């Protein structure tokens, strides 16, 4: 294409409120424009990248024998009511009514609709099946942010596997896992497959694909020695045993005055206090409307997703200080579970068997010491509630864990039979017995993957697209449109490269050289041919965007060289 005829509105300045590199550069490069919060228009350049990502994902699915569908984006409430999710997913689903006042929703995922179709699969002989689509999802995110990274309307590849038994599901899950690894490799994304929480999808297990980036919103814990990796919502670590003193015997429970002490740190510092790991942290949480105490070691942090997963609670919030005071008689900073029997008490495993600890006494300015957890606290359930921290030993091999900020670009779930049972998707097995199909569901966010590539592949001049997703493979820059031999040469190279199947952009704008160079670097085309002052001598410059390396190449050889570079990048795909 000729740049002079394209709509590529590049900007010298990024929008003031953009923070993430991908957000700034995709806007500056003329790839996207915001319509409103969480909704972006894809401009021609942006759509080309988006299409390329889509096609790589599509090939990944086709390679494992998946079949492409296209389902409605708008759903009747009835199918969501049948699965039970009309009530359970909450305000994240866009809901509205049609003129007949029938309830409708915009699809945020498609387990229900695919299960509905799967009711027509009636024999085990038709299994397994893998079905997918690439289609728009709508989620009323509480907080859209960072350009394409977190939006309310986005293209997602979602696939669904249907199997007779768990072994079949395990296989479908595994081939998806491998397909995803391959897809992210082709996108030049270093995605780590990590154990994850299943969240609203439910089910037996899930793996997330995480691209390390400071623009991400998730933390994963990973081990450099054995490869253990898990979202901090799931990750565990091995803790050293604690010596609680007293020769293994419990001391007396003793109440003592702690005027003004409101934090773990303050209690560490005060006379007669205790180091953080000898304290009990008491978190007052409201789980689906009912107040609950969550207990952790003083130096540990509560992970809310762990609390949600282990209790099945849908809505979790911290209690307001006023509510806390009303129920427990003290404000945060003086709370404890000693003697509490009228509220559920959940405790983290790290407190199991501990003695001689210090905790709040449920009266402002008073604490207890000598607390023996087994003796003094009525623990209803022992759970894994704490979030791991960097440096703690890997639960598998003991090597210190790293915590890495990541972008979640894919997530795969073993759903089991829940949806098939709810939707009535059953088959007859070899014995003529009706059995619910077992399902998996698998997602990749296309726009988020585009943003993730931009996050990982850019420099201070702009984007550096990998060949596999670049909007064009080569740009031919003519520094001066008055240089007739150069223009003629550029035109010739342009048509030759197109004949060779390259996606070429010819910068034929009547603009200054500096503008053209800066724009070509901003939009990140992998190779640039500069047809300029050396044209008269039969030479052009060939510049690789990512490395910045430039070579003078004979005019007669440049097409072959570029074609080779493009094809070799395509092959590595």
Partner RNA sequence: CGGGACGUGGCGCAGCCUGGUAGCGCACCUGCUUUGGGAGCAGGGGGUCGCCGGUUCAAAUCCGGCCGUCCCGACCA
Range 135-174, binding RNA (CB under 7 A):
139, 141-146, 150-152, 154, 156
> Within positions 79 to 108, which residues make up the interface with RNA, using CB under 7 A?
92
The CA distance from 20 to 151, in Å, is 14
Backbone angles phi, psi at 551, to 5 degrees: -130, 145
> Which string of x and - marks every residue 230-269 that binds RNA (by CB under 7 A)?
----------------------------------------
**Whole-number minimum distance, CB 97 to RNA, in Å?**
19
> Within positions 443 to 462, which residues make up the interface with RNA, using CB under 7 A?
443-445, 447-448, 461
Q: Which is nearer to RNA, 371 or 415 (CB)?
A: 415
**Whole-number minimum distance, CB 156 to RNA, in Å?**
5
Q: How many of the chain's residues bind RNA (CB under 7 A)?
A: 73
> Within positions 402 to 441, which residues make up the interface with RNA, using CB under 7 A?
408-411
**Whole-number minimum distance, CB 415 to RNA, in Å?**
11
Which range, of 12-20, 65-73, 221-229, 279-287, touches RNA by CB under 7 A? 12-20
Which range, of 13-21, 46-54, 327-335, 489-497, touches RNA by CB under 7 A? 13-21
**Whole-number minimum distance, CB 132 to RNA, in Å?**
13
The CA distance from 137 to 147, in Å, is 16
Long-range residue pairs from 325-331, CB within 8 A, at least 24 positions apart, any chain: 327/284, 327/291, 328/284, 328/362, 329/362, 329/363, 330/360, 330/361, 330/362, 330/363, 330/364, 331/262, 331/364
The CA distance from 382 to 329, in Å, is 25
**Whole-number minimum distance, CB 501 to RNA, in Å?**
26
Query: Of the candidates 6, 10, 135, 165, which one interacts with RNA according to CB under 7 A?
Result: 10
Burial pattern 116-155, b for ≥16 Cβ within 10 A else e, equals: bbbeebeebeebbbbbbbbbebbbbeeebebbbbbbbbbb
**Whole-number minimum distance, CB 161 to RNA, in Å?**
15
> Within positions 535 to 554, which residues make up the interface with RNA, using CB under 7 A?
535, 541, 543
Query: Of the candidates 58, 82, 119, 533, which one interacts with RNA according to CB under 7 A?
Result: 533
The CA distance from 427 to 120, in Å, is 9
What CA–CA distances, in Å, run from 408 to 47, 179, 190, 241, 411?
21, 16, 12, 34, 8
* Secondary structure class of 385 (helix, strand, coil): coil
Query: Of the candidates 103, 165, 170, 217, which one interacts with RNA according to CB under 7 A?
Result: 217
The CA distance from 58 to 157, in Å, is 8
**Length of the chain, in residues:** 573
* Number of helices followed by number of strands (H, E) in the chain: 15, 33
Q: Which is nearer to RNA, 34 or 83 (CB)?
A: 34
When asked if residue 195 is in the footprint of RNA (CB under 7 A), the reply is no
**Whole-number minimum distance, CB 367 to RNA, in Å?**
26
> Within positions 494 to 513, which residues make up the interface with RNA, using CB under 7 A?
512-513
Contact 26, 46 (CB under 8 A): yes
Pull the structure tokens for residue 421.
């049972």
Query: Of the candidates 274, 347, 502, 522, which one interacts with RNA according to CB under 7 A?
Result: 522
> Within positions 279 to 318, which residues make up the interface with RNA, using CB under 7 A?
304-305, 308, 316-317
**Whole-number minimum distance, CB 343 to RNA, in Å?**
20
Query: Of the candidates 79, 113, 127, 201, which one interacts with RNA according to CB under 7 A?
Result: 201
When asked if residue 17 is in the footprint of RNA (CB under 7 A), the reply is yes
CA angle 312, 317, 320 (to 5 degrees): 145
């Amino acid at each position: 294409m000729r740049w002079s005829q394209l709509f590529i509105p590049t900007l010298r300045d990024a929008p003031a409120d953009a923070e993430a590199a991908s957000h700034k550069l995709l806007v500056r490069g003329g790839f996207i424009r915001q319509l409103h919060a969480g909704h972006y228009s894809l401009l021609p350049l942006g759509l080309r990248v988006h299409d390329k990502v889509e096609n790589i994902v599509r090939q990944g699915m086709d390679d494992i024998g998946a079949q492409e569908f296209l389902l409605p984006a708008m759903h009747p409430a009835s199918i969501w009511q049948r699965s039970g999710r009309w009530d359970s997913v909450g305000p994240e689903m866009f809901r509205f009514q049609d003129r007949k006042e029938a309830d409708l929703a915009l699809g945020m995922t498609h387990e229900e609709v695919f299960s509905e179709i799967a009711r027509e699969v009636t024999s085990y002989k038709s299994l397994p099946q893998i079905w997918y689509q690439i289609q728009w999802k709508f989620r009323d995110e509480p907080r859209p942010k960072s350009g394409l990274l977190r939006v309310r309307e986005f293209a997602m590849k979602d696939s669904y596997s249907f199997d007779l038994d768990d072994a079949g599901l395990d296989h479908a899950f595994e081939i998806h896992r491998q397909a995803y690894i391959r897809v992210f490799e082709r996108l030049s994304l270093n995605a780590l497959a990590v154990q994850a929480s299943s969240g609203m999808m439910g089910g037996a297990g899930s793996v997330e694909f995480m691209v390390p980036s400071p623009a991400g919103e998730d933390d994963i814990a990973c081990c450099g020695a054995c490869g253990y990796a898990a979202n901090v919502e799931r990750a565990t670590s091995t803790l050293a045993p604690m010596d609680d003193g007293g020769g293994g015997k419990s001391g007396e429970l003793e109440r003592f005055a702690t005027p003004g002490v409101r934090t773990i740190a303050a209690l560490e510092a005060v006379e007669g206090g205790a180091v953080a790991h000898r304290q009990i942290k008491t978190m007052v949480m409201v789980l689906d409307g009912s107040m609950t105490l969550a207990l952790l070691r003083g130096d540990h942090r509560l992970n809310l997703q762990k609390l949600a997963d282990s209790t099945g609670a849908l809505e979790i919030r911290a209690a307001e200080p006023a509510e806390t005071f009303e129920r427990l008689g003290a404000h945060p900073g003086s709370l404890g579970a000693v003697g509490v029997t009228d509220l559920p008490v959940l405790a983290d495993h790290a407190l199991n068997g501990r003695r001689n600890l210090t905790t709040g006494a449920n009266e402002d300015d008073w604490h207890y010491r000598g607390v023996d957890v087994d003796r003094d606290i009525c623990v209803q359930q022992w759970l894994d509630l704490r979030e791991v921290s960097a440096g703690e030993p890997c639960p598998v091999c003991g090597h210190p864990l790293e915590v890495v900020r990541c972008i979640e670009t894919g997530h795969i779930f073993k759903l089991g039979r829940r949806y098939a049972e709810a939707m009535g998707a059953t088959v007859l097995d070899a014995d003529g017995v009706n059995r619910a199909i077992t399902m998996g569901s698998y997602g990749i966010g296309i726009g988020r993957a585009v943003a993730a590539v931009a996050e990982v592949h850019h420099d201070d001049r702009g984007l550096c697209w990998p060949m596999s997703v670049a909007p064009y493979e080569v740009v031919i820059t003519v520094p001066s449109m008055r240089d007739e031999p150069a223009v003629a040469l550029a035109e010739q190279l342009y048509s030759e490269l197109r004949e060779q199947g390259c996606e070429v952009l010819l910068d034929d704008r009547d603009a200054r050289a500096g503008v053209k160079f800066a724009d070509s670097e901003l939009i990140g085309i992998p190779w640039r041919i500069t047809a300029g002052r050396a044209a008269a001598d039969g030479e052009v410059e060939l510049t690789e965007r990512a490395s910045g390396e430039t070579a003078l190449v004979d005019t007669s050889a440049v097409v072959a060289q570029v074609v080779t570079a493009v094809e070799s990048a395509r092959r590595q795909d």
